[in-house]
Amino acid sequence: MAYYLSDGSLYTGETHYSSGVLMSGATHTTSSQELTARPDSQTNPHIIDSNAPLRTLSMQALRRFGDFNATTIDGDVLLMFLEFANIVIDDVRQHPYAPRTTYSSTSGDTTTTATSMDVIEYYRSIEETRPINDQIIVSGLLAHYSLQQGSEKAEIYMPAYFKTMNQQLWRELNGNTKIQMRVVDDGTNPSNSKNKISSQYNGTVSA
């Protein structure tokens, strides 16, 4: 996993999360900077700081499915996998843990923050990559392919797909933190009386 500052330079120091945002430094200070994490390819570790092409992920999904030699498939099958991969992108876009970026602006003594979902474009070619965890794409391809084939393996691959997507998106958004309940009615949230802030992502409370 590599971390980059807003100017694109590589960051190699300690990190922490503040209100769901990955920041530089072991603890939060005024000099902490927002970081962007670029994971290595999980299924192809020789691909550094990027994701594997859809063609590679499709072949891996076919090998895992296991009904035939993956090298015997034709172009039409790969085009079908392109369609499946774009369905996976739709699933990630709609997920509550979808990748997002928080922006801050300061005017005088007032700092305003806003969060927006990261734009993830559809695949247009099986040679392209997308900034989505490789394991999510492979699991999604297996799930949708097993449904298309009417295979009993769908009973295994569909739950595994949603588990993988939930797990990997949570890790990328909040790291290895506990999922906690949070009070959404600010008027009854006891943390308000102590001048503390509840994270909108995972409910953790910070000063």
Tell me which of 182 and 136 has the higher pLDDT.
136
CB burial of 100-127 (b: ≥16 within 10 Å; e: otherwise) equals: eebeeeeeeeeeeeeeeeeeeeebeebe
> pLDDT band for position 107 (50/70/90)?
confident
In this predicted structure, the answer to whether residue 57 has a pLDDT above a threshold of 80 is yes
Closest CA to 38 of 135, 160, 140, 132: 132
* Residue 80, H or E segment: helix 75-94
In this predicted structure, the answer to whether residue 192 has a pLDDT above a threshold of 90 is no
Give the whole-number percent of the chain exceeding pLDDT 90.
Answer: 28
The predicted structure's pLDDT at residue 159: 95
The predicted structure's pLDDT at residue 24: 87
Question: Is 54 exposed, middle or buried, given 0-12, 13-18 or 19+ CB atoms closer than 10 A?
Answer: buried
Tell me which of 162 and 71 has the higher pLDDT.
162
The predicted structure's pLDDT at residue 100: 76
In this predicted structure, the answer to whether residue 161 has a pLDDT above a threshold of 70 is yes
Residue ranges per structural domain of the chain = 1-38, 52-180
Max avg pLDDT among 23-27, 124-128, 137-141: 137-141
Give the chain's mean pLDDT: 80
How far is CA 167 from each of CA 67, 72, 140, rounded to the nearest angstrom? 28, 33, 14
**Residue where the block lists tokens 């569909």:** 158
The predicted structure's pLDDT at residue 198: 62
Tell me which of 47 and 56 has the higher pLDDT.
56
pLDDT digits (tens, 9 = 90+) for 4-49: 777 667 778 888 888 778 888 888 888 888 887 665 555 555 555 5
Q: Please, which residues bridge with residue 116 across strands?
A: 101
Mean pLDDT of 57-64: 90
Max avg pLDDT among 100-114, 140-154, 169-183: 140-154
Distance, CA of 131 to CA of 171 (rounded, Å): 15
Angle between helices 154-174 and 75-94 (to 10 degrees): 50
